[in-house]
Every structure is written in C-alpha cells, then in structure tokens.
Amino acid sequence: METTRQPSRLKPTLVVVTDAHHFRLFSTGDHGASISHIAGDLDSIPNPPSRDHKSERPGRAFSSSGVRRSAIQPKTDPHEAAEKNFAKAVAEQLETLAAAGAYNGIVLFAPPSFLGALREHFGRHSTELLRAQVHKDLTKSTQDEIRDHVEAVLRP
C-alpha cells in the first residue's frame, strides 16, 4: 500500500510594524508577495502634551542647609516612560506569539530609537525567530507599501 505524503504547510512569517505609539501586525507566507493584517494588535497609546502628565507645579523641597526651598524636577520624562511601557507591551506580545510556535520568523520595522527600546525587552523565543530588523518607520504606510518593503527584505 502506497502512502502519499501531504506537503507540509510552511509557517508564515510575522511582520511587525511599530513605533513608540503605534503597533501593527501582518503575516506573510510567500516571501512577502502578499501580506495580511492580523487583527488584535495593540492600540495606539494616547500621547497628550507633557503638561497633562503632571500637576500644575513641580514639588518643592527644603535645601540641605538653610530654609530655602527649591523646585524638584521629575526624574523621568512622562513621554519616555510611556514609550518604555509601550515597548515592553509590544515585546511581551511578540514573545507570546513566538512562543506559540505559529510563525517561522519575525521581520521587524521600527525607527532606530524605538528599536533599541524593544531590544531591551525581547524574550528568548522572539529573539530566536527574529529574521530581520529594519530601521524604518512604516506605521503610517499603506499595506501595499509595507508589502513592498517586506518583499524586498524576504526576497531569496
């Protein structure tokens, strides 16, 4: 009795397009010739002005000697803290997807400054699947423009 082998279906590649405030996921199985948007990505984080992140006046403290008081500056910028939190959330979602084993690779498009923040939070699974990191902000690009960039990166 002869058995016929079914061709194994190749796992798709996960395409991540992100910046410090937006996150889009795509999937491609044919070296970028076509891509499909994956539902359920993280929403954009709100980006209010710095004045809305903090109180009207900075805190006050007495100096180490005397009775003089001076303003205390915040140790971190609220925008930087929000971006770091967003980078951590994106990296955690990528790690979850990579650990599930549904993809054979990850292609990441992000501006250089945000790419560095993402790398700090990458887990073992997402690091192993990372095929390409492209220093480009494509968050406002159309799906066709993104497909062209993906195809250029994945072309054999």
Q: Copy the structure tokens of residue 77.
A: 């910028």
The pLDDT, as a whole number, for residue 22 is 87
Could you tell me if 15 and 107 are in contact, meaning their C-beta atoms sit under 8 angstroms apart? yes
Mean per-residue pLDDT over the chain, rounded: 80
Number of separate domains in the chain: 1
Q: Give the predicted TM-score (pTM) of the model.
A: 0.76
Query: Which domain, by its residues, includes 84?
Result: 13-38+61-154
> Above 50 in pLDDT, residue 5?
no
- In-domain check, residue 43: no
Where residue 111 sits, what CATH number does that domain have?
A: 3.30.420.60
What tens digit of pLDDT does each residue of 75-101 get? Answer: 667 778 888 999 999 999 999 999 999
- In-domain check, residue 7: no
Residues 6+ apart with CB under 8 A from 53: 78, 79
Positions of E strands within the chain: 13-18, 23-28, 36-37, 60-62, 69-71, 105-110, 130-135
The whole-angstrom separation of Cα 51 and Cα 92 is 29
